[in-house]
Amino acid sequence: MRCEAVTFSNRDGLRLFGIVHLPQTRRPRSVPVILLSPGIKSRVAPHRLYVKLARHLASLGFIVLRFDFAGLGDSEGSVRETAMADFYGTVQSGRYVDDTRAAMDWMQREYGTSKFILAGLCGGAITGLLAGARDARVDALIALGLPVLLDSRDIDSTRYLTVGELKQWREGYKSKLADPKSWLRLLTLRSNYRVIFRAIADWWNKRSSPRPTTAQRLQQDVDNFNPLVPKAFEAMVANRRVLLVFGEADRLFPIYDERLARPYSAMLKRHADRLKLQVVPGANHTFSLKGWEEAMRGHVEAWLETHVRV
């Protein structure tokens, strides 16, 4: 495998910088992979996840591009948002779809390919989903820890915690009861008291009164659900392949289950042959432990070999 530094321009004329990983084989796979930056972590990703994933995919014969979106990493441009939540909200609304299409344009000119596999963690996953809904060149999507909500400073995220999230928070707090540092955070006003009170109230209400159904909860609490997701999801799975991988301890997993999988179960069942969901036991959002990362890569490799014509 060898790597090459590359540059290309997006549709605003800004130069984007990236790395192409080229396999040793003389005949690489016919469909390259583009890794899309997760949030503000650039083309490297947390704990160099994209570097390791790109190398692994190149060893399987794929040409892999990982690049920085405009305003991130080495690429030209700027991020004007002053709050992280507002920036994430723009990503979840498609901020980098055009940069993704510019990357496909460049690879099409450079390598003569007309089909692409998009892959990404978190912000990269939602960018890939939205890009796939708009561009027929996207042949498949690998979405790691897909977010289905919209972030913003104007949204009180504690108000919209799902049943699964609240359960994760309670289990987390229970595990810290014997930890002096956790008590110190609580007593020095550094804990998230809104989440603590919500988790306790949810547990108490479940004991003392009937729980509302998922449909009732969703009717009441849909304000931060991303309205772009269902249509984009159906556009992808209608005739293309999608792999979803979540860590079992990732808070985005119960959100996906309660906000998308259950309410839109009929749509997902219609296209079940093109949608695959894998959950890595115990893993967090970024698959930060070696075993979790290896398990995630194993799911990706097996799915590529079985479900994608490459």
* Block residue for tokens 């004329």: 13
Range of weakest confidence among 51-65, 76-90, 106-120:
76-90
Q: Which residues, in sequence order, are bridge partners of residue 242?
A: 141, 275
User: Residue range 74-91: average pLDDT?
Assistant: 93
Listed in sequence order, the DSSP H helices in the chain are 49-59, 84-92, 97-111, 123-134, 163-175, 180-187, 193-208, 214-220, 228-237, 252-256, 265-270, 290-307
From 193, 155, 162, 118, select the one nearest 260 (Cα to Cα). Answer: 162
pLDDT digits (tens, 9 = 90+) for 3-36: 999 999 999 999 999 999 999 877 899 999 999 9
Query: SS3 of 278, please?
Result: strand
- Which one has a higher pLDDT value, 27 or 279? 279
Instruction: Name, of 157-161, 221-225, 252-256, the range with top average pLDDT.
Output: 252-256
Task: Please give the pLDDT value at position 41.
Answer: 86
pLDDT given at position 151? 87
In the chain, domain spans: 2-153+224-307, 157-220
CA distance 148 to 23: 34
Give the pLDDT of residue 197: 58
- The CATH architecture to which 2-153+224-307 belongs is 3-Layer(aba) Sandwich (3.40)
Q: At how many degrees (to 10) do helices 193-208 and 163-175 cross?
A: 110
Q: Which pLDDT score is estimated for 19? A: 98
Mean pLDDT of 55-80: 96
| pLDDT tier at 134, thresholds 50, 70, 90 | very high
pLDDT at 155 over 70: no
Are the CB atoms for 149 and 222 separated by under 8 Å? Answer: no
- Give the pLDDT mean for 186-212: 57
Please give the average per-residue pLDDT across 172-198, as a whole number.
64
Paired tokens of 152: 């913003």
pLDDT of residue 202: 53
Is the pLDDT confidence value at 132 over 90?
yes
Which range is least confidently modeled, 57-71, 132-146, 200-214? 200-214
What mean pLDDT comes out for the span 236-251?
96
Mean pLDDT is lowest, of 34-38, 75-79, 195-199, 299-303, for 195-199
Is the model's pTM score more than 0.85? no
Res 198: pLDDT? 53
CA–CA separation, 95 vs 123, rounded Å?
A: 10
- What pLDDT score was predicted for residue 33? 98
